[in-house]
A and B are shown apart, each in its own frame.
Chain A
């Protein structure tokens, strides 16, 4: 019996789909059986982020309308074995799915997977309510910008009204250097304003562009940066206590010199 988690944000372009792909991949790395559902009907993208776009035969709408069994629509990621994708329909009407139907599907998948991770479309219309219909936990993704945080606040309110009271926050595309210079909101500013628990902070990372180009989630590569942040988030989702990444800058030349001669 697994768990159904929705990844949502309100505003588009803050990294919901990238987050879903990376969390899913990292969870499957730790041996969990994971299915990712793309609910962005008409604007699907989770397939390309995962590099599975060439293998789609059936999609979410086919499953909902009874065109195929859900197992026929699932694409197994051969690289990880335990990771599956249920792609969204690209050409069909986005109102062809109703929240009750999504809920039923999520419940069915939950029987066979450890984690059902639902990638929510931007906005707060039908697609949003479809995506959260079956969810038991919610992750809200934002960037440290006024517009994104504002929309996140709205979404947190809507999640609460829908009974998802314990949403967790991911702050994406954080730039430590700008924050240090006082030109970006700090992590604590965002948490303070939104008043929900933090699940993780993902630094802005050029490697994300490369990994999206290749269709290989960033967590696949070892090393510091966004990939490491997502690996930690996946461990927290599984209940482990993991420290936040340290974004302090390495001391520069003068910092080191000061330390050596003992004036700092």
Chain B
């Protein structure tokens, strides 16, 4: 095997270093799309907030009026930032789920 490798190396064209622009393309595209998609839909944000509130209501009472959910963009990422001020935690949340 070793002999073969050195034999092959002797005759094969010198291997080019992989430039890896595929990975760059993929990563840049992913990020750009997160930004693109994030800018389209305030409707989706409202719906998401509503569903989050509904889920939270199984566990706690939150101040719905003061609750905020939005996307924050930095250069490297887009993140979901949400604030839900708690009024009261449910004591027996397991019962409330069912």
Q: A-side interface residues toward B, CB under 8 Å?
A: 144-146, 149-150, 153-154, 157, 179, 181-186, 189, 193, 254, 258, 263
Contact = CB atoms under 8 A, between A and B. Distances in A.
Interface majority SS (helix, strand, loop, mixed), chain B: helix
A167 to B, nearest CB: 16
Interface string B1-43: 1001000100110001011111101101110110011001000
22 contacts: A146-B25, A146-B28, A146-B29, A150-B29, A150-B32, A153-B36, A157-B40, A181-B16, A181-B19, A182-B20, A182-B21, A183-B22, A184-B22, A184-B25, A185-B22, A185-B26, A189-B26, A193-B26, A193-B29, A254-B11, A258-B8, A263-B1
Interface majority SS (helix, strand, loop, mixed), chain A: helix
Given A146-B29, A189-B25, 17 more contacts: A144-B25, A146-B32, A149-B29, A150-B29, A150-B32, A150-B33, A153-B33, A153-B36, A154-B36, A181-B18, A182-B22, A183-B19, A185-B25, A185-B29, A186-B22, A258-B4, A263-B4
Interface residues of B, number: 22
Nearest to A145: B25
A263 B26 CA distance: 35
A154 B33 CA distance: 9
B51 to A, nearest CB: 19
Nearest to B35: A150
B17 to A, nearest CB: 10
Given A153-B37, A263-B4, A183 B21 contact: yes
A182 B37 contact: no
Nearest to B1: A263
Contacts of A144: 25
A87 B8 CA distance: 58
Contacts of A179: 22
Contacts of B21: 182-184
B33 A193 contact: yes
A103 to B, nearest CB: 25
A157 B33 contact: no
A101 B77 CA distance: 43
A182 B18 contact: yes
A254 to B, nearest CB: 6
A252 to B, nearest CB: 9
Contacts of A184: 21-22, 25
A186 B30 CA distance: 14
